[in-house]
């Protein structure tokens, strides 16, 4: 049985003056332990799809099952990391990373110790009592990752988590996130509009086309690239070939005279 199964998702947003279809007929499956990317131009409904998978939005049509069960918004089996860190500025780092446990009433000393160990593993020692404002953007995003991981979700969703960071920090974080998720054998979905990032991090890439958003094509990343860290993938000889393939496909989706 598939780990994550998305069947026939349609979603339409209604407002007073319009009905906008964000997604139409999206079906895909993700295996356990797999890292996949949703790639596509803006407005292709990637974030909507993530919200549906997380159970935050009810799709107009279609079903999402995780390990054969329908997802619910109250389940803690899904972790969600947003574009910006969204750490709570009035909470210390420690309070921030324990937030998920506190909300779901699972906070005990072992879980707390686990969260603090994770923080250390991310190279953030001695920041527990500081406030988010005192940390740099990259550090904050790492804290946000710890916050997402402490509840031990089965599926992790990353919604352009590196887009607000500078390039160097982004490359470093890609490696860190990739290694961490691999060592925990987490299943993850990355939403991005950066082709390089999608290739460097994932096992499969789902390419979406816009208005209305639908699944256009699936790319399977060759095995030799999957085994490398994201940073090394970028300098691998197979990288530019697949980059070109994805690039051309993405180009074909958008009219060339758009600029």
Partner 1 sequence: MSPRTNIDLLHQKYLHSLKREKRWVRFYQLIILLVFVFAWELASQKQWIDPLIFSSPSKVWTMLLTKIQDGTLFIDLGFTLSETVFGFILGTILGTLLAAILWWSPFVSKILDPYLVVLNSMPKVALGPILIVALGPNFTSIVAMGAIISIIITTIVVYTSFKEVDPNYIKVLQTFGAKRLQIFKEAILPASFPVIISTLKVNVGLSWVGVIVGEFLVSSKGLGYMIIYGFQVFNFTLVMLSLLVIAIFATVMYQLVELLEKKLIKHGS
Binding-site ranges for partner 1 (CB under 8 A) = 54, 56, 73-76, 78-80, 82, 84, 86, 88-90, 92, 99-100, 103-104, 130-134, 151
* Minimum gap (Å) between residue 76 Cβ and partner 1: 5
Nearer residue to partner 1 within complex by CB, 99 or 215 = 99
* Minimum gap (Å) between residue 6 Cβ and partner 1: 18
8-state DSSP, 104: T
For residues 161 and 137, is the Cβ–Cβ distance under 8 A? no
* Minimum gap (Å) between residue 8 Cβ and partner 1: 24
- For residues 92 and 104, give the distance between their C-alpha atoms in angstroms, rounded to a whole number: 19
* Non-local CB neighbours of 194 within 8 Å, separated by 6+ positions: 162, 163
Q: For the chain, first and last CA: distance in Å?
A: 45
* Non-local CB neighbours of 110 within 8 Å, separated by 6+ positions: none
User: According to DSSP H, which parts of 17-125 are helical?
Assistant: 46-53, 93-97, 99-103, 109-121
* Minimum gap (Å) between residue 84 Cβ and partner 1: 7
Nearest CA to 254 out of 215, 213, 209 is that of 209
Nearer residue to partner 1 within complex by CB, 17 or 74 = 74
Token digits of residue 218? 């699936």
Nearer residue to partner 1 within complex by CB, 16 or 133 = 133
- The residue whose two tokens read 């697949």 is 242
Nearest CA to 213 out of 50, 21, 70 is that of 21
Nearer residue to partner 1 within complex by CB, 8 or 73 = 73
Token digits of residue 120? 């250390």
* Minimum gap (Å) between residue 222 Cβ and partner 1: 33
Nearer residue to partner 1 within complex by CB, 82 or 253 = 82
Nearer residue to partner 1 within complex by CB, 54 or 199 = 54
* Minimum gap (Å) between residue 71 Cβ and partner 1: 11
- For residues 130 and 70, give the distance between their C-alpha atoms in angstroms, rounded to a whole number: 39
* Minimum gap (Å) between residue 112 Cβ and partner 1: 16
Nearer residue to partner 1 within complex by CB, 127 or 210 = 127
**DSSP secondary structure string for all residues of 61-73:** EEEEEETTEE--T
């Amino acid at each position: 049985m598939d780990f994550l199964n998305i069947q026939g998702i349609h979603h339409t947003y209604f407002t007073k003056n319009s009905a906008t279809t964000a997604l139409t007929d999206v079906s895909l499956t993700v295996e356990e332990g797999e890292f996949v990317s949703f790639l596509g131009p803006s407005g292709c409904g990637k974030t909507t799809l993530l919200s549906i998978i997380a159970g935050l939005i009810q799709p107009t049509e279609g079903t999402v099952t995780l390990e054969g069960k329908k997802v619910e918004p109250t389940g803690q089996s899904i972790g969600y990391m947003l574009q910006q860190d969204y750490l709570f500025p009035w909470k210390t780092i420690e309070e921030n990373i324990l937030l998920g446990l506190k909300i779901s009433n699972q906070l005990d000393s072992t879980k707390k110790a686990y969260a603090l160990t994770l923080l250390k593993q991310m190279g953030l020692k001695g920041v527990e009592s500081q406030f988010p404002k005192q940390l740099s953007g990259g550090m904050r995003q790492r804290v946000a990752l710890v916050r997402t991981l402490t509840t031990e979700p089965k599926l992790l969703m990353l919604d352009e988590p590196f887009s607000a960071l500078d390039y160097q920090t982004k490359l470093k974080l890609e490696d860190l996130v990739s290694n961490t998720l691999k060592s925990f054998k987490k299943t993850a979905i990355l939403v991005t509009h950066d082709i390089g990032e999608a290739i460097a991090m994932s096992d499969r890439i789902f390419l979406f086309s816009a208005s209305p958003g639908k699944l256009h094509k699936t790319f399977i990343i060759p095995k030799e690239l999957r085994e490398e860290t994201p940073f090394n993938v970028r300098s691998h000889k197979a990288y530019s070939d697949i980059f070109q393939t994805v690039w051309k496909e993405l180009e074909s989706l958008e009219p060339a005279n758009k600029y």
